[in-house]
């Protein structure tokens, strides 16, 4: 599956223009070439409708029944579990990846002499908790720096019998370089290490099955490739951590029997089943959950594997044509985003000038990060290439 979906860019057999788009599903004005989904997803029209409906509903709080405190969360966990091939009771709702990583760092035991493997220049949300945990335990951080063409090999080279945690993404956030979490998961388990995945820059646009990569914890935001609102994310917790796991906070919502409001003051040491103990407080999120449900429903309908194939058509064409004018890009990358590097470096103010032309990309590190979605057209591709040709060469 990995070879088919994440193959090297520039394979002409993948191209089949004109690319099929679903632009009408998104609330994007004519003339806007939005190529920055890796920063924040463009709004689906169905998500906007759900959000307005939630605001209207909460204007009448007397209409919120006791069961509503739990029904939305259950629906959302069920949808997310379906995307990753997990059981619903292994999913917790969290406000951010940093929260999910904090849960993992609080529960995975570390000792003096252990090591924690992370990527070089990893996104901070999957680094700071490990840095703190290392200081407190005497463990060391090992940084996998890309010296050849494969981030995967760089990570694998650092995993040994002293490794306690491997904390990696599915792809590098700056340029889309592919990380083979299945192979890394196999190596981690061989040495008794826990695998923690930040899937924020892949899940929703890449197929990911936890039965294949077998993470201990997997966290993701909901506002990028999962097309949902900011402030609501997801945490997968393997069953081995359910029974004795320690949550970050102690919310009344996540104790056994919390759906019986009449007995809330009858305190209990028992948590809700499965990963329920790891939910954030105020997990019902009455404003955000309807939007997130609409978003995950659409992603599920489109299917991440199909999204990946369609976006690879676009980014393969981009890489082929950008390469012809001197840009380079990762040899092994995912299909839904790519970082382009100019041999001349990037001029100051490039993003701002492109924004003035209605073209929205990002600069991350030394790359122009381009991240389209199913609203993206061949015209958007031509506009971007013409702008890069005149602005950077």
Mean pLDDT of the region 148-152: 84
Same domain, 296 and 307: no
Task: Say if CB 339 and CB 174 are below 8 A apart.
Answer: yes
Closest CA to 205 of 45, 371, 10, 359: 371
The widest CA-to-CA distance across the chain, in whole angstroms, is: 69
Question: 199-253, pLDDT tens digit by residue?
Answer: 999 999 999 999 999 999 999 999 999 999 999 999 999 999 999 999 999 999 9
Mean pLDDT of the region 297-304: 97
Closest CA to 202 of 232, 228, 172, 231: 172
Output phi, psi for 170, to 5 deg: -85, -25
Angle in degrees, CA 204, 175, 39, rounded to 5: 55
Q: Tell me what pLDDT residue 1 has.
A: 36
Mean pLDDT of the region 106-129: 97
**For the whole model, what pTM was predicted?**
0.93
Same domain, 58 and 41: no
What confidence tier does 391 reach under pLDDT thresholds 50, 70, 90? Answer: confident
Same domain, 252 and 209: yes
**Structure token pair of residue 330:** 């990762």
Same domain, 58 and 102: yes
Among 253, 279, 301, the domain boundary falls at 301
Structural domain total, the chain: 2
Same domain, 180 and 327: no
Same domain, 80 and 109: yes
Strand ranges (E), 120-248: 140-144, 163-169, 194-198, 217-221, 233-237
The answer to whether residue 3 scores a pLDDT higher than 60 is: no
Same domain, 75 and 25: no
Question: 35-63, pLDDT tens digit by residue?
Answer: 999 999 999 999 999 999 999 999 999 99
Residue 10: strand, helix, or coil: coil
Strand ranges (E), the chain: 33-34, 91-94, 115-119, 140-144, 163-169, 194-198, 217-221, 233-237, 338-340, 359-360, 362-364, 367-370
What is the CATH number for 171?
Answer: 3.40.640.10
State the residue for tokens 């899937």: 199
Task: Say if CB 111 and CB 157 are below 8 A apart.
Answer: no
Mean pLDDT of the region 275-287: 96
How far apart CA 318 and CA 330 sit, in angstroms, is 13
Same domain, 295 and 324: no
Same domain, 193 and 66: yes
In Å, how far are 210, 235, 247 from 239, measured between CA atoms? 12, 13, 14
Residue 370: strand, helix, or coil: strand
Same domain, 70 and 99: yes
What is the CATH number for 26?
Answer: 3.90.1150.10
Same domain, 281 and 331: no
Q: Tell me what pLDDT residue 9 has.
A: 44
Same domain, 295 and 309: no
Among 301, 328, 349, the domain boundary falls at 301
Task: Say if CB 333 and CB 356 are below 8 A apart.
Answer: no
Q: Tell me what pLDDT residue 11 has.
A: 42
Radius of gyration of the chain measured on its C-alpha atoms? 22
Range of the domain at 118: 48-301
Among 244, 270, 301, the domain boundary falls at 301
């Amino acid at each position: 599956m990995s070879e088919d979906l994440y193959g090297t860019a520039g394979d002409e057999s993948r191209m089949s223009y004109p690319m099929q788009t679903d632009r009408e599903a998104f609330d994007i004005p004519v003339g806007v070439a939005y190529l920055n989904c890796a920063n924040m997803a463009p709004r689906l029209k169905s998500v906007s409708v759900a959000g307005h409906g939630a605001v209207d509903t909460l204007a009448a709080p007397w209409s919120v029944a006791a069961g509503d405190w739990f029904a939305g969360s259950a629906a959302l966990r069920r949808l997310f579990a379906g995307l990753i091939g997990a059981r619903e009771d292994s999913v917790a709702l969290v406000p951010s990846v940093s929260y999910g990583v904090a849960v993992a760092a609080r529960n995975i035991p570390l000792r003096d002499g252990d090591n924690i493997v992370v990527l070089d220049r990893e996104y901070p949300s999957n680094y700071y908790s490990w840095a703190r945990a290392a200081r407190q335990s005497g463990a060391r951080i090992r940084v996998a720096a890309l010296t050849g063409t494969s981030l995967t090999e760089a990570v694998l080279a650092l995993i040994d019998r002293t490794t306690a945690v491997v904390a990696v993404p599915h792809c590098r956030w700056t340029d889309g370089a592919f990380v083979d979490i299945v192979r890394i998961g196999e190596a981690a388990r061989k040495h008794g290490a826990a695998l923690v995945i930040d899937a924020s820059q892949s899940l929703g646009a890449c197929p990911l099955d936890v039965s294949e990569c077998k993470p201990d914890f997997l966290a993701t935001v909901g506002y990028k490739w999962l097309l949902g609102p900011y402030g609501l994310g997801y945490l997968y917790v393997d069953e081995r951590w359910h029974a004795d796991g320690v949550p970050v906070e102690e919310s009344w919502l996540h104790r056994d029997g919390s759906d019986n409001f009449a007995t809330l003051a009858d305190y209990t040491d028992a948590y809700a089943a499965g990963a329920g103990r790891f939910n954030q407080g105020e997990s019902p999120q009455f404003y955000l959950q309807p939007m997130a449900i609409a978003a995950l429903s659409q992603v599920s309908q489109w299917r991440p594997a199909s999204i990946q194939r369609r976006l690879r058509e676009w980014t393969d064409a981009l890489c082929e044509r950008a390469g012809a004018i001197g840009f380079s890009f990762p040899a092994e990358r995912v299909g839904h985003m790519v970082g382009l590097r100019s041999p001349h470096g990037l001029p100051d103010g490039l993003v701002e000038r492109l924004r003035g032309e209605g073209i929205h990309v990002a600069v991350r590190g030394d790359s122009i990060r381009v991240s389209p979605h199913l609203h993206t057209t061949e015209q958007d591709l031509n506009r971007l290439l013409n702008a890069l040709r005149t602005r950077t060469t």
